[in-house]
Amino acid sequence: MKFSQLKKTALLSALMAASFAAGVTLQPVLAESGGFRVFLEVYDLVKMEYVEKKVDDQKLVKGAIDGMLSMLDDPYTRYIAPDEFKQMNEEREGSFSGIGIQIGTRDNKLTVIAPIEDTPAWRAGLKAGDWIKAIDGKNTETMVVDDAVKLIRGKEGTAIKLLIYREDSKKTLDISVTRGKIENKVVKYKMIKNNIGYLRLTTFMQNNSPEEMKNAINELKKQGMSALIFDIRSNPGGLLPNAVDIGSLFVSEGPIVRIVDRDGKEEKLNASGRIALDKNTPMAVLIDGGSASASEIVAGTLKDNQRAILIGTRTFGKGLVQTVHNLSNGSGIAITTNKYLTTKGTDINKKGIDPDVLVTVPKEVLDKPYSESLDVQLQKAIELMSERIAAK
């Protein structure tokens, strides 16, 4: 018996609804030589002949979407399940549950982009660049990011075990992390010796990040700041408008970033003119392999404009911009819609940004608790800023 036309129509409607919600249409697909028709034939045969009668239609649809996106060979274009999408939106407001970690794929390995400071993941010792080999004993070799996120998230107070390989120290580690509520204070600042201000930004995701940055700079100036150290190490990025606004606090004119669309058309996103720090104030930026996306936009414009000296190690190398769309079932889809270039037009995707002063963390301190005295990158920045102040 042929599979009912009614169910076929329902499936087609579901797929079209998802497509329209994402801002696209299925018409080009339908116009092709039977490609979508073949998909329906396979779906028909699975429903009629598969040995297990109870096949979840929604799982088949999600599997089809995941499979379609995986063929793009782009880890950043992905379907976002309703629970994850909700949590993503909560993160923009600054409060969410989890272990406080950003993950992605690098060289086809599930990798820690960055732990968020003062979260369970950060306190457990997870570091940018860690390869997550297993989650609660489940091998991640063929695991997509979305599935990994589902395993890592869970009820507050419960524990998860991660098997980590750390390339820098050539160690395999079992790390247990207890899930908790994440209250992410994204901007931290203080005065350190020689009237040097220290300002750390942990993420570009929160909507109020630019305003908090501006307030922090003004407070440091009131305290007599003569130079600034801006720390964006292990900052995985976030919202593109935030990157432009924060870059504009330090660069008064010209493009903060250039974005290129699918047709090769380039658009310059220029400085807003709302500068917060005088260009004559010496400035250093701390970067590392966990500095990604929006962090690289800001680091790139500061380097290209010779506004600051970059200290640390090469950044992550994510030069792509995603547009996130709401879908009708409460889920979302992130689609890579642009690539970005630095102020001078440099493509850093999969390459990263090299520091002006290379300072690597010694192996003997990699697994030790954080201490400012052991932070060789920070100490180098203090040394260089002190020299700049003395030379003025």
Average of pLDDT values for 76-80?
90
Check if CATH label 3.40.50.150 holds for domain 187-391: no
CATH number of 95-183: 2.30.42.10
Dihedral in degrees, nearest 10, Cα atoms 128, 258, 144, 62: 150
Which one is predicted more confidently, 35 or 25? 35
Average pLDDT, the chain: 86
Task: Give the whole-angstrom CA distance, residue 140 versus residue 232.
Answer: 28
Instruction: Give 38-50 pLDDT, tens digit per residue.
Output: 888 888 899 899 9
Instruction: Give 138-183 pLDDT, tens digit per residue.
Output: 999 988 887 888 888 888 899 999 999 998 888 899 999 999 887 6
pLDDT category at 6 given cuts 50, 70, 90 is very low
3-class secondary structure for 49-105? Answer: HCCCCCCCHHHHHHHHHHHHHHCCCCCCCEEECHHHHHHHHHHHHCEEEECCEEEEE
Specify the pLDDT at position 229: 98
pLDDT category at 8 given cuts 50, 70, 90 is very low
How many Cα atoms within 13 Å fall on the side-chain side of residue 131?
Answer: 16
Q: Do residues 319 and 296 lie in contact, with contact meaning Cβ atoms separated by under 8 Å? A: yes
- The domain segmentation of the chain, as residue ranges, is 5-71, 95-183, 187-391
Annotated catalytic sites, by residue? Answer: 293, 304, 318
Tokens 């310059």 belong to 268
The model's pTM is: 0.74
- For 189, other C-beta atoms within 10 Å of its C-beta total 21
Specify the amino acid at residue 308.
Answer: A
